[in-house]
Chains A and B, each alone.
Chain A
């Protein structure tokens, strides 16, 4: 698809046909493809389609990662939104803990003890959620390795990279 385009049209033709992302890629790619875009240098072989796809992917991945970071860390990004979220998370943890404790008490007949224990455990769980929300660790349970912007690439062959840098069972998780 690239070759006929290149032969048929000059600089402006290419720009018109391709989208803006591709123009940016052409600008990124350096002198070799700058010659290609100008349509003057026919001796150099054009970059392969895989190469191009690779570069498109890189640019898109970067954009998505940036956008994703905005989305995830700041659901409602206002101070009031954050305050409301924190409040809800805290209350939810306590409610779940107290409910489970109460249920266990009814079941096991250990009247106040399970309620007391699970009340505090639930509060701890709520705190954990608040901590995760506030530090931008995301909303997931467990410790996500956020150094590489978890989940910024969209599955696919790269999917296994994002999940963890160091853990030995990284491959297993995706499989």
Chain B
């Protein structure tokens, strides 16, 4: 029987390419990222192409997802956040599509790879820091000294605050990656039980049904959490409290 973590194996598709010592072969992970992009693009353009006054089912889904993120940005970032709506909407739809595509049997979940989620998180982190620096200049650094703290403690506090600021991309990426990886591993483990227990496999099968539903919830929830945390970080960068 296949090991539960075999599903995370990266496999190259087609020829293996090497550029300057880096392996840039096309992989199953990359294939599913492209698939996710295509699915989102087709979903949004096709469903909105009718432009019905009374939306069809698909148009309604597209409008709902748009409004969901638009409201999220407005409530969490404020009116200045409108400029960053495309970024957050793209992130949300990409992660959501990746998570949900991963729920299809035999597919690959690219969000279960730390490097993918970390790349997105570090992009958000660097972008947010640059926005804060552009908006507030050097005043941004006052962020790291809590108001009213005794000056004697400043060296210690500043280091701790900087570290806790730097831990943002890690916690942002680990949250998504760990949720997806743990969930999918658990599903494979229970799937193994079903096969191994023969007739008594009905019990783990029941658990598996509930687990599948839970995984769909987690898939949507983690996309939402990633998007809303990006919004909150943007809010901090723009308003600096």
Contact = CB atoms under 8 A, between A and B. Distances in A.
A84 interface: yes
Contacts of A64: 75
Contacts of B235: 151
Contacts of A144: 241
Interface in B151-176: 159-168, 170-171, 174-175
Nearest to B175: A88
Nearest to B221: A76
Contact of A75 (B166, B170, B225, B236): B225
B75 A67 contact: yes
Given A64-B75, A125-B161, A88 B174 contact: yes
Interface stretch (B12-20, B59-67, B101-109, B142-150): B142-150
B147 A68 contact: no
Nearest to A72: B232
B57 interface: no
A163 B241 contact: yes
B131 interface: no
Contacts of B186: none
A164 B167 contact: no
B241 A142 contact: yes
Contact of B75 (A68, A76, A142, A173): A68
Contacts of B232: 72, 138-140
Range of interface residues on chain B? 35 or more
Given A71-B75, A95-B170, A100 B163 contact: yes
A153 B239 CA distance: 12
Contacts of A172: 139
A138 B232 CA distance: 9
B9 interface: no
Interface string A110-130: 000000001001101110110
9 contacts: A95-B167, A96-B163, A125-B163, A128-B164, A139-B236, A140-B241, A145-B147, A173-B239, A173-B240
Interface of B: 74-76, 78-80, 136, 139, 143-148, 159-168, 170-171, 174-175, 178-179, 221, 225, 228-229, 232-233, 235-236, 239-241
Interface of A: 64, 67-68, 71-72, 75-76, 84-85, 88-89, 91-93, 95-97, 100, 118, 121-122, 124-126, 128-129, 138-145, 150-151, 153-156, 159, 162-164, 167, 172-174
Given A96-B170, A121-B163, A173-B241, 8 more contacts: A72-B232, A91-B174, A96-B163, A142-B145, A142-B147, A151-B78, A153-B78, A155-B80
